[in-house]
């Protein structure tokens, strides 16, 4: 079976590349991550894939204007999840399953921290 999605702009989409970039930057200034930007652009503006319309991904557009987050999003969300589990463990100290899950959450955090710092030190940036 062939590809069901074509990597081109849909014929029914009236927004241009500049309009999409402007909307992305306007949403990005408010602070949500690029995942939320994509959902808002999809729901409110009808842009299914920003990359097909603009030629660049959402995070690349935000980086070009200096609005990219300091932490990569996957690392940020893992840290957020680990903090929630730690708060739960403060209230429920005997929850053995939560202790185990915290270990499972923290291991990719440590892996991502090392790759993030290595990439920043070499100056290659984080994509």
- Bigger pLDDT: 76 vs 2: 76
- Bigger pLDDT: 29 vs 81: 81
The pTM for the full model equals 0.72
pLDDT at residue 1 above 70? no
**Predicted pLDDT of residue 26:** 82
Least reliable range by pLDDT among 42-46, 113-117, 122-126: 122-126
From CA 6, how far away is CA 40, in angstroms rounded?
A: 21
Q: Are 114 and 108 in contact (CB under 8 A)?
A: no
Q: Using pLDDT thresholds of 50, 70 and 90, give the confidence band for residue 59.
A: confident
Tell me the pLDDT of the chain averaged across its residues. Answer: 84
**Predicted pLDDT of residue 45:** 82
pLDDT at residue 62 above 90? no
**Predicted pLDDT of residue 124:** 60
From CA 20, how far away is CA 53, in angstroms rounded?
A: 8
Per-residue b or e along 20-39, where b marks 16 or more CB atoms closer than 10 Å to that residue's CB: bbebbeebbeeeebbeebbe
């Amino acid at each position: 079976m062939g590809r069901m999605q074509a990597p081109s702009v849909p014929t029914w989409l009236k927004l241009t590349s500049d309009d999409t970039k402007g909307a992305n930057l306007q949403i990005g200034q408010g602070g949500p991550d690029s995942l939320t930007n994509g959902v808002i652009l999809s729901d409110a503006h009808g842009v299914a894939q920003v990359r097909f319309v603009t030629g660049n991904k959402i995070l690349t557009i935000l980086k070009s204007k200096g609005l990219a987050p300091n932490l990569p999003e996957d690392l940020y969300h893992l840290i957020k999840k680990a903090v929630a589990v730690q708060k739960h463990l403060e209230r429920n100290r005997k929850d053995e399953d939560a202790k185990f899950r915290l270990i499972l959450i923290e291991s990719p955090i440590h892996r991502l921290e090392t790759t993030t710092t290595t990439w920043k030190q070499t100056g290659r940036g984080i994509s």
